[in-house]
Chains A and B, each alone.
Chain A
């Protein structure tokens, strides 16, 4: 029996607390419609995504929520400290993200229903450039400031069911929604004779997809997972006008987890995402490419500190980002480590992850040799009310 109040609270929390996401363009990682944080929970992030297909908080495999025995709410905060460099120029940025909020409630004894809101693509950046331009008979300096805030978020309603101890299955329905707010200023030193141009645009996104997945445990120490998402249409609207239309990327993923080592598990994931279906949603200059992603990680029980059991995690991940930069694919290699602990009689759990990522475009390096180094801190709080 699902508590109506609990479900309402969970839905409200999921919608309200999935905050604004932001990132910077003028960077490799946020080309096109932006950077995909990956839809990993803090725990899954620390294992390079290896645990993502088995993790109930990561909205990738709907089968993963089947065994959630209690109502639960999960919040995640994830600032990224990025340093971009190209030739002799470099700049540091700080992007604050709230990439994932999830809630689930069990139904009957073998199932669970969950609602999650996660950042699918994060497109927020600010740039300021100056150049010389001829205005009528006068050459003057123009300063152009562009600020874009927005994201495409994935709102998923999923149901998981475990008909036996060896099988979990799940299905999910996705609504991809969000908006992109663009603020553009063009200003001139001579404010007496020149007027500042100020433009603001608001574009909203609406897309649909369905997903399904399964987790199999053929042996006590081995778990296999497979999931897929089938994308429908996604469109952009400005006011009441449809601006463009494309497809939500399909995704196919498989994962393996080995739990034969006492107190530890090793997991790995591989996924293929058909980002190219987004081509046409933006301008012709935006080129999305289908991408592979792979990750492997370890989760192990550690010592007790302050009467709490610590869990250590480590992992690595390699992937191709969806949007090309300077005509080349952008790749990302990440190493992560983290720990987790439970509090309040195990009704709350806090996970902390630190991830180091390096990103580059092209091999050999693209013109200008643009590169990024990023440290991502991820804080995940799981509560069982």
Chain B
């Protein structure tokens, strides 16, 4: 009897174990393919379309001071780009310590310097480089270039400093004469920076928009080392009625002479002042709305830009335009964008020939857009827009058919009916 009971319990346990083990399905029978899996995959078809109905070069309209770095360049007859840094809060008095509520008038200044963060990527350093700093304070309108540019003259020179190429890395200390600070106590110090060298020279200085506190002005106001030095960040009080614009103007690139415009009818990306390309598409609905798109590539034919050197490169990223039909100004529509593609195209502007930008994710995004409300458009932008004079050029729809922008789309032809 005991043996029978034990056997029964054992059989029950085995049965439970088998049932539990058999609950986890493994349906993968791939070894039977392709012998018994006929036609389960889908063919992939590729079509190349001429879907661009509007293409044009437009100004980047990035706004003065919104660039991530200040582009300083002196390249003879081609480019003259300078930087302006505003310190509109030079104090007239100071506190000896944080706990001392009494303030003391500033009567002496020592150890004054401006700290800059340099980015030499894409820079041209022919040898020793001299940075001239000018007093560019002027009551002229903030958006004007010429009144500021004409202040880069000898009688406005604050200081100069020559740096060896090895010193031009990361942090740069530019000494400032104490008199320049003392003369502006309780007022503002606006410094214009310009490069000089034996040959064409260019480099970039990180701006307030491109890094966290990259630039500062430091000076001591007492010989007592217990008194902390005064440290000021770039700050602009004007325009007083537009705080956002004023924040941008704390430091900005002053482009005195930009790159020459590209040939008429070409699509130009980059350069100074910066430009971008707007492309509007009309794609058959059955492709955008119905097809399972695997790959979408924008085919552009590059035309060489002889105005740059062989070593110059530019990175182009496609943005999708989010501007609705209500925005009729293409230049404005080209500003209302979002990054939708992961591909970045690296180009040598002197090069030529067919270039490919992957825009599959953009086309996928267009599927969710109502084309009656939002035109399907791409905006091609340089990743260093407004920070480099390098410009890439492409043939537009006005060129010969083989040179025009095209869209190559690969899609799956598999139509799943759900039946064997």
Contact = CB atoms under 8 A, between A and B. Distances in A.
B412 to A, nearest CB: 5
- The listed residue with most A CB atoms (<10 A of its CB), out of B5, B15, B28, B408, is B28
A126 B1 CA distance: 49
Contacts of A90: 31
B36 A325 contact: yes
Given A127-B33, A129-B41, A201 B418 contact: yes
Interface stretch (B16-24, B138-146, B261-269): B16-24
Given A195-B293, A197-B42, A325-B36, A136 B29 contact: no
- The listed residue with most A CB atoms (<10 A of its CB), out of B5, B23, B31, B34, is B31
B8 A127 contact: no
- The listed residue with most B CB atoms (<10 A of its CB), out of A31, A85, A199, is A199
B28 A129 contact: no
B15 A352 contact: yes
B104 interface: no
Contacts of B364: 195
B36 A93 contact: no
Interface in A95-134: 95-96, 123-129, 131, 133-134
B410 A25 contact: no
A93 B360 contact: no
B416 A182 contact: yes
A100 B31 CA distance: 30
Contacts of A25: 29, 32, 36-37
B28 A93 contact: yes
Interface stretch (A50-58, A170-178, A184-192): A184-192
Contacts of A184: 42, 414, 416
Q: How large is the interface on B (under 10, 10 to 19, 20 to 34, 35 or more residues)?
A: 35 or more
A168 B177 CA distance: 117
Nearest to A123: B420
Interface in B36-56: 36-42, 44, 46
- The listed residue with most B CB atoms (<10 A of its CB), out of A96, A124, A193, A367, is A193
A93 B25 CA distance: 8
A28 B8 contact: no
Q: How large is the interface on A (under 10, 10 to 19, 20 to 34, 35 or more residues)?
A: 35 or more
Contact of B417 (A22, A136, A198, A243): A243
B30 interface: yes
B29 A27 contact: yes
Interface stretch (A39-47, A156-164, A253-261, A279-287): A279-287
A299 to B, nearest CB: 20
Interface string A19-43: 0001111111001110000000000
A89 interface: yes
B167 interface: no
Interface string B297-326: 100000000000000000000000000000
Interface stretch (A141-149, A218-226, A313-321): A141-149
Nearest to A92: B26
A127 B293 contact: no
A93 B27 contact: yes
A116 to B, nearest CB: 22
A305 B4 contact: yes
Q: Is the interface of A mostly helix, strand, loop or mixed?
A: strand
A338 interface: no
A203 interface: yes
A192 B297 contact: no
A136 B5 CA distance: 71
A96 B414 contact: no
Contact of B7 (A188, A305, A379): A305
Contacts of B360: 193-195
A368 B42 CA distance: 24
A238 B418 contact: yes
Contact of A26 (B19, B29, B44): B29
A12 interface: no
B46 A127 contact: no
B27 A22 contact: yes
A285 B420 contact: yes
A309 B234 CA distance: 96
B416 A194 contact: no
A257 to B, nearest CB: 28
A180 B420 CA distance: 10
B294 A129 contact: no
Contacts of B410: 135-136
A379 B7 CA distance: 18
Given A93-B26, A96-B25, A195 B15 contact: no
A186 B414 contact: yes
A295 interface: no
Nearest to A96: B25
A27 B22 contact: no
B30 A127 contact: yes
A8 interface: no
Interface in A57-108: 77, 79, 81, 84-86, 89-96
A377 interface: yes
B8 A84 contact: no
A3 interface: no
Nearest to A305: B4
Interface of A: 22-28, 31-33, 77, 79, 81, 84-86, 89-96, 123-129, 131, 133-136, 142, 144, 146-147, 180-182, 184, 186, 188, 192-195, 197-203, 236, 238, 243-244, 281-283, 285-286, 305-306, 308, 325-326, 352, 367-368, 370, 377, 379
Give the 3 A-B CB pairs with smallest separation, nearest first. A26-B32, A79-B22, A203-B418
29 contacts: A22-B27, A24-B29, A32-B420, A86-B31, A91-B31, A93-B26, A94-B25, A126-B30, A127-B29, A129-B41, A131-B41, A136-B295, A136-B410, A146-B40, A180-B418, A180-B419, A184-B42, A194-B295, A195-B294, A195-B360, A195-B364, A197-B292, A197-B294, A198-B292, A200-B416, A201-B418, A243-B417, A243-B419, A285-B420
Given A32-B420, A236-B419, A370-B36, 16 more contacts: A24-B28, A24-B29, A27-B32, A84-B31, A85-B31, A91-B28, A93-B27, A123-B420, A126-B27, A136-B410, A186-B412, A193-B358, A195-B294, A282-B420, A283-B419, A305-B8
